[in-house]
Amino acid sequence: MAVTAESVRLLRERTGAGMMECKKALVEAQGDLEAAAEMMRKSGLAKADKKASRVAAEGVIVLERAADTRRAVIVEVNCETDFVARESDFRSFAANVAKAALAGRPANVDALLQLKIDGGGTVDETRRALISKIGENIGVRRFALVEAPAVVGAYLHGSRIGALVAMKSGDDAVAKDIAMHVAAIKPARVSAAEVPADEVAKEREIQLAQAKSDPKNAGKPDEILVKILDGKLRKWVNEITLLGQPFVKDPDQSVEKYLKQAGGEVISFVRYEVGDGIEKKQEDFAEEVRKQVESTRK
């Protein structure tokens, strides 16, 4: 049996081990996934075999910024419960991962997992050791490296939401203000010019259909409705773009106006929120207790 990228991925998800370890085990097992998993468990490389399949939707967002403030990294490290997310060893691990990412400039998460961190081991080795110690699935989900000609603004809201903003001009205080706004308001793009034409066309189509179904617009020709919609579309674009949004610290002015007054220009931004996009199973504790009680009566 051939060793494929998909079989490596499946073995990684099952065991929580590193990519190279999984590939080596699959080669030795001649591509047999079950045999490779068993081999890794016997050798102690798959201590997290069962834990690796559990959903890790809690965790922390960690930021690390270079001394010159022109380079920074944002990392999401996940665990299963908010209790572990507050645990000191977990937080120390997350902080060390961010430091390694900033120093090592890895191309992707797989490369990040192979970097050395404080303590001597790799990120992945330390992660698996922490799984065995704490008893929960732990994963390094994603990271982003941000660089800027002027400054990278950084803002962390608690430990669950973080933002980095690359600035072409402006000082650190302005950059932090914009990062705070990004964290709080969650814009989708920097400016109207970055909104894809197909998204605008789709929104126009939706709003036109809504306008036609409104009794107040009965009998109005499409060209009149389109003119009415132009204003609504401009409002929609402003709502989803950083420059068009009311500035979080002064809603009476837009972010664009604030930046012009402060002499700042934004190139790009990154915003992470813990568990964003992860489907987390909703546990019904009362129902679980009821089922346990019923099972004891049988």
pLDDT in tens, 60-90: 999 999 999 999 999 999 999 999 999 999 9
**Residues 144, 119 contacting (CB under 8 angstroms):** no
Measured distance CA(46)–CA(42) in Å, rounded: 8
Cβ atoms 112, 140 nearer than 8 A: yes
Percent of the chain scoring above 70 in pLDDT: 86
In Å, how far from its chain's centre is CA 203?
26
Contacts of 251 (CB under 8 A, 6+ apart): none
Q: State the pLDDT at residue 33.
A: 83
| Of residues 139 and 218, more confidently modeled | 139
Query: Which residues does 243 contact at the CB level (< 8 Å), separation at least 6?
Result: 190, 191, 192, 254, 255, 256, 259, 266
What is the value of pTM for the model shown?
Answer: 0.75
| 34 — pLDDT class (breaks 50, 70, 90) | confident
**Per-residue pLDDT tens digits for 110-161:** 999 999 998 779 999 999 899 888 888 899 999 999 999 999 999 999 999 9
Q: What is the pLDDT of residue 24?
A: 86
Distances (CA, A) of 76 to 4, 199, 261: 28, 28, 34
Q: How does pLDDT run across 247-282, given as a tens digit for each residue?
A: 999 999 999 999 999 999 999 999 999 988 876 655
Q: What pLDDT shows up at residue 126? A: 94
- How far is Cα 19 from Cα 238, in angstroms, rounded to an integer? 43
Taken in order of first residue, the domains within the chain and their CATH numbers are 5-53 (1.10.8.10), 55-147 (3.30.479.20), 151-189+248-278 (3.30.479.20), 196-240 (no CATH)
For residue 266, the number of C-alpha atoms closer than 13 Å in the C-beta half-sphere is 30
The Cα 225–Cα 250 span in angstroms is 34
- pLDDT tens sequence across 83-101: 999 999 999 999 999 999 9
Q: Which alpha helices (DSSP H) does the chain contain, by range?
A: 5-15, 19-28, 33-42, 82-85, 88-104, 109-113, 123-134, 172-185, 197-213, 222-240, 255-262, 285-297
Q: How many residues does the chain have?
A: 298
| pLDDT at 23 (0 to 100) | 85
Kindly indicate the confidence band of residue 294, based on its pLDDT and cuts at 50, 70 and 90: low
Cα→Cα distances 146→103, 116, 140, Å: 13, 21, 18
Summarize pLDDT for 207-217 with one digit per residue, the tens. 888 887 888 87
Of 112, 48, 105, the closest CA to residue 77 belongs to 112
Q: Judge whether residue 287 has pLDDT over 80.
A: no
pLDDT at 290 over 80: no
Sort residue 32 into left (φ over 0), alpha (ψ -120 to 50) or beta.
beta
End-to-end CA distance of the chain: give it in Å, rounded: 47
